[in-house]
Amino acid sequence: MDRVERFTNHQSVSSQYELLDEMMDCYGQAIQQLVYTYVKDYATAEDLTQEIFIKAFKKLHTFRHQASVKTWLFRIAMNHFKDYLKSWHYRQIVLDNDFVHNTIANEVQIEQRFMQQSEEKRLANAVLKLPLAYREVVYLYYYEEWTTREISQMTQKNENTIKKRLNRARKLIKNLLSQEESE
Amino acid sequence: MNDPLMNVKHAFDKTVFERVQFTENQKKKTLIQVDPLKQKKIEIMILQTLYDSTKTGFAILNDLKKRIGKEDFQNNEGSVYILLHQLESKRYIQSQWEDNKGAKIKYYHIENKGRKRLVEIENEEGNKTSFRLDWEGGLRG
């Protein structure tokens, strides 16, 4: 991490290029995982991750040392995902898929599939089923282990909003998991 | 009250994330797309290969593969088409759809502006220092 941060002091193109290389070594995996929790599709997550690092490269001059490289990259990733949601591709293809997934018949199917799954799989799937705003906060808090304060800075939302979302997410998950048990 | 989300990290690592893998190959593809020296080299080569003949995108790509090495373009052919598009929008090259036994094929040819550009960068490249400075200045601006 320090290595990467030291690098940002260099301005020449070749050292920026090396910096990108370093950033991908350190955070490529973390970014791709985050993006996966957004898009829930392996191939799309790969494409978006590459685009995010290219964006980061072009924005290197905006990096300020108040934030860690990781926080900075996560913010770029979140913004890039928002742009992706607005894109033509997403509207044409993914929304159609979502629509299909949201029909009741499908919900039942998914829940039935949960029955035979391990506890880990049930929990992961339940989290992935949360609406985006809750899923994101849950991921940043429980997986990346950021504090509610850090998450509030990163997402530029009030810390109380973050706490409320976490509470609500816990309730939603409890319901989801107990529904399956009672079936 | 126990927290139902306590094991999220473990649950993700054990399941969905087993297939999420940021690979060396992805890293390479990303690096190629931001390497200004390499992009410039490819730009020169495209202009050179079109200097005295009209070619399809596929033929251009094959020519580049021969000269630079296949691995740079493996699964990354798209980046060449992006570059072709950029050169076209700068009016260095032009493209035209032609009929080939019922199938439409796009052919590229060089424009005068592209020929001038090629001479210009070949001269620049003769003088390595100014070539680099030009790029670094260009990127910052």
Q: Give how far Cα B87 sits from Cα of A10, A138, A176, B31, Å.
A: 30, 45, 54, 21
Does residue B31 sit in helix, strand or coil?
helix
pLDDT at B41: 82
CB contact under 8 A, B4 and A20: no
Q: Return the domain boundaries, chain A.
A: 1-87, 117-183
Torsion of Cα atoms, A145 then A148 then A150 then A151, to 10°? 90
* Residue A95 forms contact with B (CB below 8 Å): no
Backbone angles phi, psi at B12, to 5 degrees: -65, -45
* Residue B75 forms contact with A (CB below 8 Å): no
Which of B3, B8, B19 has its CB closest to that of A42? B19
The residue among A74, A65, A66, A79 whose CA lies nearest residue A23 is: A74
Scanning B90-119 for CB atoms below 8 A from A yields none
* Residue A120 forms contact with B (CB below 8 Å): yes
Q: Residue ranges of the alpha helices (H) in A87-182?
A: 88-89, 95-101, 104-115, 119-129, 132-138, 148-155, 159-182
- Owner of token pair 């985006």: A132
Which of B20, B36, B136 has its CB closest to that of A36? B20
Distance, CA of A174 to CA of A49 (rounded, Å): 32
- What residues of B are in contact with residue A53 (Cβ under 8 Å)? 30
* Residue A13 forms contact with B (CB below 8 Å): yes
The interface pTM score, or ipTM, of the predicted complex is 0.79
pLDDT at B52: 85
pLDDT in tens, B90-115: 999 999 998 878 888 999 999 999 99
* Residue A53 forms contact with B (CB below 8 Å): yes
Mean pLDDT in chain B? 82
- Owner of token pair 């050292």: A15
pLDDT at B72: 65
pLDDT at A182: 67
Distance, CA of A155 to CA of A162 (rounded, Å): 9
| Domain A1-87 falls under CATH 3.10.20.30 | no
Q: What integer is the mean pLDDT of A126-152? A: 96
* Residue B24 forms contact with A (CB below 8 Å): no
For domain A117-183, which CATH number applies: 1.10.10.10, 3.40.50.80, 2.30.40.10, 3.30.450.70? 1.10.10.10
- Owner of token pair 């700068």: B90
CB A37 within 8 A of CB A139: yes
- The model carries a pTM of 0.69
Q: What integer is the mean pLDDT of B112-133? A: 73
Scanning A143-172 for CB atoms below 8 A from B yields 143, 145, 169-170
